[in-house]
């Protein structure tokens, strides 16, 4: 990537920014626009962007973005509040998430005969995490009942961090299955990743969060450095965990969860960063997705990949959601609405990039194409449907004394994912 590439990307950000407010209530979302822009300037478009999958900057951008997303999303979650009032996302995570992985594994195994059990499970773990950035028109629409918006937002803030250790364990099992003599090594490696990562993240979040909060209380730290220092905790947790053999992404997630529950006074600065710099990083990932990943998807597209992508956004997501919401007295259209708005985004992209680095996993190219086809379909299907579906659902759920009590149950709001 050279100066010309940077200039083209900067121009695209400026042009979109000029009309971003006008587009907010349209069918065009920011992720859609940046995927199309990336494809247009990429090698299969006008050829203006000189970048490919092996370029190190892509991996750095994707990893830093996921670290920031995991940390800031986790910092929004008040665990006590989640336990007391937010039973819908708890159901979606405790029941719907494992069911989605199970149904996704079975779907992948049936559609792709070349994938064995653990490989199918890896694919399922990649495509299950959701991304609220693709449903912005839903989670910010004040006409949609707050309980439903919060369910979608809180679920997306936690499920990528919860899916990550599952993905890593499936990946280790897939590698061990191909080389039985190294089974003990890979299981030990996976255990270290999953155990050391949370320990480092909790330690960094606890000590670092308290230090920053104390400095803020004594007015030793400026507001701008309050934002920078808070987000530096995410990078510190990531780096420290990787240095001792843990998983840095899990550490960043646990650090954010710890800061959000023991140092909430500094969380406003984290939210401000996430709504500006964090959003920029996310959109750059979608731009790279359009420029580099989309052509690879088109090259590997077939009926099985298309079928899997469609099923991933429907049956694999909506059936487990419906099961998890049994007994909540929510209307059928509410269960369909929550089930549909499980868009796939940044987490799936980074998980797939991690997979590409693992030469020991057969079928990784097929898994990558199927996962990225699901993300591409999600970007456009969820993007195009977000605003009109939110308007439709808002009309369907106007509160009255006689009905929709479950949808409009009062609760204390947690910060939305913008």
CATH number reported for the structural domain that contains residue 263 in this entry: 1.20.1530.20
Question: Which of helix, strand or coil describes residue 249?
Answer: helix
| pLDDT value of residue 269 | 76
**Within-domain flag for 231:** yes
The whole-number pLDDT of residue 179 equals: 67
Give 107's pLDDT tier (boundaries 50, 70, 90): very high
Q: Is residue 38 part of a domain?
A: yes
Q: Whole-angstrom Cα distance, residue 194 to residue 186?
A: 12
Domain tally for the chain?
1
Classify residue 290 as exposed, middle or buried by CB count within 10 Å of its CB (0-12, 13-18, 19+).
buried
pTM over 0.85: yes
Q: In Å, how far are 64, 272, 287, 397 from 3, measured between CA atoms?
A: 21, 29, 17, 51
In a domain, 86, yes or no: yes
Distance CA 58, CA 370 (A): 20
Tokens standing for residue 135:
């449903």
Can you tell me the mean pLDDT for 246-270?
86
| Residue 312 reports pLDDT greater than 80 | yes
Residue 22: is its pLDDT beyond 70?
yes
Lowest mean pLDDT among 82-96, 348-362, 382-396: 348-362
What pLDDT, on the 0 to 100 scale, is given for residue 112? 92
> Is residue 338, in this structure, part of any structural domain at all?
yes
Q: Is residue 410 part of a domain?
A: no
pLDDT band at 335 (very low <50, low <70, confident <90, very high): very high
User: Distance (Å, rounded) from C-alpha 220 to C-alpha 304?
Assistant: 59
- 386-371-236 Cα angle (round to 5): 85
The domain in which residue 247 lies consists of: 3-396
What is the structure's pLDDT at 200?
A: 93
Residue 409 within a domain: no
Mean pLDDT calculated for residue range 91-98: 94
Cβ-contact 71, 234 below 8 angstroms: yes
In this structure, is residue 219 part of a structural domain? yes
Q: Is 289 within the bounds of a domain?
A: yes
> What confidence tier does 182 reach under pLDDT thresholds 50, 70, 90?
low
């Amino acid at each position: 990537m050279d100066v010309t590439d940077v200039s083209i990307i900067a121009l695209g950000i400026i042009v979109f920014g000029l009309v971003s407010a006008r587009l907010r209530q349209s069918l065009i979302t920011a992720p859609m626009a940046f995927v199309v822009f990336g494809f247009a300037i990429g090698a299969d478009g006008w050829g203006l962007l000189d970048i490919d999958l092996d370029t190190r900057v892509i991996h750095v951008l994707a990893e830093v973005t996921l670290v920031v997303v995991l940390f800031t999303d986790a910092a929004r979650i008040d665990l006590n509040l989640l336990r007391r009032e937010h039973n819908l996302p708890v159901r979606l995570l405790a029941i719907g998430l494992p069911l989605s992985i199970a149904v996704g594994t079975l779907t992948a195994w049936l559609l792709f005969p070349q994938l064995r059990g653990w490989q199918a499970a890896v694919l399922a773990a990649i495509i299950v995490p959701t991304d609220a950035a693709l449903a912005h028109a839903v989670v910010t629409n004040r006409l949609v009942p707050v309980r439903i918006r919060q369910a979608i937002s809180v679920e997306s803030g936690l499920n990528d961090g919860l899916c990550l250790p599952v993905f890593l364990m499936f990946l280790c099992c897939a590698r061990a299955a191909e080389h039985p003599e190294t089974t003990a090594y890979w299981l030990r490696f996976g255990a270290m990743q999953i155990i050391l990562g949370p320990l480092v993240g909790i330690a960094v979040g606890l000590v670092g969060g308290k230090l920053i909060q104390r400095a803020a209380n004594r007015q030793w730290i400026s507001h701008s450095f309050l934002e920078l220092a808070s987000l530096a905790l995410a990078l510190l947790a990531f780096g420290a965990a990787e240095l001792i053999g843990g998983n840095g992404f899990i550490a960043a997630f646990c650090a954010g969860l710890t800061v959000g529950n023991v140092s909430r006074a500094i969380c406003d600065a984290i939210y401000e960063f996430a709504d500006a710099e964090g959003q920029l990083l996310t959109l750059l990932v979608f731009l790279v997705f359009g420029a580099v990943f989309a052509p690879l998807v088109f090259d590997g597209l077939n009926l099985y990949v298309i079928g899997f992508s469609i099923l991933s956004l429907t049956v694999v997501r909506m059936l487990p959601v419906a099961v998890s919401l049994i007994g909540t007295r929510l209307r059928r259209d509410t269960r369909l609405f929550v089930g549909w708005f499980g868009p796939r985004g940044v987490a799936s992209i980074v998980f797939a990039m991690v997979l590409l680095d693992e030469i020991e996993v057969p079928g990784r190219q097929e898994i990558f194409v199927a996962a990225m086809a699901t993300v591409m379909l999600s970007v456009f299907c969820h993007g195009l449907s977000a605003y009109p579906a939110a308007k439709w659902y808002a009309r369907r759920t106007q509160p009255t004394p006689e009905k929709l009590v479950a949808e409009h149950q009062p609760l204390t709001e947690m910060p939305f994912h913008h």
